Chains A and B, each alone.
Chain A
Amino acid sequence: DAKTTQPTSMDCAEGRAANLPCNHSTISGNEYVYWYRQIHSQGPQYIIHGLKNNETNEMASLIITEDRKSSTLILPHATLRDTAVYYCIVRVAYSGAGSYQLTFGKGTKLSVIP
């Protein structure tokens, strides 16, 4: 799996957009970018994933650069409940359970400030 690099921590003012970057310069053509978040002492929660096109759902938007070497997760209007550790992962999808050995790095700790 391609390795990812994320900042250790970020702050964001409540109500503003939170932009969380992720570098994955060794990503392969068939690898997807997944984002999960983990609120303290809970299990990680799936947020969004994409291959090369930008994606949006009710939680967030995912912007992937044209060369696919980096991506940005956007929380459009951050709330205090968005304070969590955010993990960026790249992985081949849909190729059997053995492939879902997702490697979770340390992620980015996002603190939303009132």
Chain B
Amino acid sequence: DGGITQSPKYLFRKEGQNVTLSCEQNLNHDAMYWYRQDPGQGLRLIYYSQIVNDFQKGDIAEGYSVSREKKESFPLTVTSAQKNPTAFYLCASSSFGKLFFGSGTQLSVL
């Protein structure tokens, strides 16, 4: 089945640690996105990528980094500089105006 696969579903981070969230898509979409969602809130854009080897900062990029070495993959690293990383992270791709989302990763701080 085509879609967006995020892993892991749950992730725990220790103080000062970098962690990487995986996002893979087999929809052959050029554009991919990372959003952050806090409890009871909407989604906020962290980074997006229109094509391989290119990505742009969204509204809340500080403390995060991404790479886009392959069309299918858009991993997100939450660095130690992100002081409040606990949130639900959503990856998406888009085609003709529609966003397709993965099932999300819940990141918590130990």
Q: Which A residues have a C-beta under 8 Å from some C-beta of B?
A: 32, 34, 36, 41-46, 49, 87, 91, 93-94, 96-98, 100-107
Contacts and interface: CB of A to CB of B under 8 A. Distances in A.
B104 A41 contact: yes
A95 B33 CA distance: 16
Given A97-B49, A98-B50, A44 B90 contact: yes
Nearest to B29: A97
Contact of B31 (A36, A45, A100): A100
A107 B43 CA distance: 10
B94 A97 contact: yes
Contact of B96 (A93, A98, A106): A93
A94 B90 contact: no
A42 B40 CA distance: 13
Contacts of B49: 97
B99 A102 contact: yes
15 contacts: A32-B97, A34-B97, A41-B106, A42-B103, A42-B104, A46-B99, A49-B97, A87-B42, A96-B50, A97-B49, A97-B51, A98-B48, A98-B50, A100-B48, A107-B42
Nearest to A48: B98
B66 interface: no
Contacts of A49: 97-98
B84 interface: no
B102 interface: yes
A86 to B, nearest CB: 12
B33 to A, nearest CB: 7
B98 A46 contact: yes
Contacts of A93: 96-97
A34 B51 CA distance: 24
A80 to B, nearest CB: 20
Contacts of B35: 104
Contacts of B103: 42-43
Contacts of B41: 106
Contacts of A41: 88, 104, 106
